Chain A
Amino acid sequence: SSELTQDPALSVALGQTVRITCQGDSLRYYYASWYQQKPGQAPVLVNYGKNSRPSGIPDRFSGSNSGITASLTITGAQAEDEADYYCSSRDNSGNHFPKFGGGTKLTVL
């Protein structure tokens, strides 16, 4: 399958840890990248590659990869982390085009 599958919604208590997952066969061959999108705003890259963060992204955002699953872990979730999160990778069916998961809406309780 060329799809990237994410849980539609997750919740986490303030200060707790949450793992957002992304599954797809292409993740055997390509690392995932992760984007945070708050309402009315453009997406922002928060993690990519083996576990890299752009400048300015807090270190509570970490990424990992295992087999067909990529994960974004938020350790000590803050109220401002409430957002939609999208994973992205490449299609492994031949064209290697970028593709996105369906997104996970994270609620911080």
Chain B
Amino acid sequence: QVQLVESGGGVVTPGGSLRLSCAASGFTFSDYYMNWIRQAPGKGLEWISYISDSGSPIQYAASVKGRFTISRDNADNSLYLQLNSLRAEDTAIYYCARDHSGSYPAFDLWGQGTTVTVSS
């Protein structure tokens, strides 16, 4: 079954850290760019990072650059997001999403999301 399954979310105090994981199955993970996209409560979608199929290049949105780190393990079919120096505004559902491997940009497979709450 083609799917992405996120884990690792939780409640953390401001300034704290968390590591999110995304387990891929049913497709050749190493063939695809992968992304992290988040959604704050009651808000829209915000792209925050992508990583190429090989692990480089990597890019981040300005809102998380310098605090979050994306990585992947192609041997383990896993994507990761290390969240450091967390702020209240980082509270959101975090989705991993696969890049469509074609001529047109799209996110063609999403996980169910994992919730991060930053609160004192």
Contacts and interface: CB of A to CB of B under 8 A. Distances in A.
Interface in B40-93: 44-47, 50, 59, 61
Contacts of B59: 95, 97
Interface in A1-52: 30-31, 33, 35, 41-45, 48-50, 52
A48 B106 contact: yes
Interface residues of B, number: 22
Interface of A: 30-31, 33, 35, 41-45, 48-50, 52, 54, 86, 88-90, 95, 97-103
B102 interface: yes
Nearest to B93: A42
Nearest to A50: B104
Contact of B110 (A33, A42, A95, A100): A42
B112 A88 contact: no
A2 B104 CA distance: 19
B105 interface: yes
A93 to B, nearest CB: 11
B47 A33 contact: no
A62 to B, nearest CB: 15
Interface centre among A35, A54, A89, A98 (most CB of B within 10 A): A98
A44 B95 CA distance: 12
A102 B35 contact: no
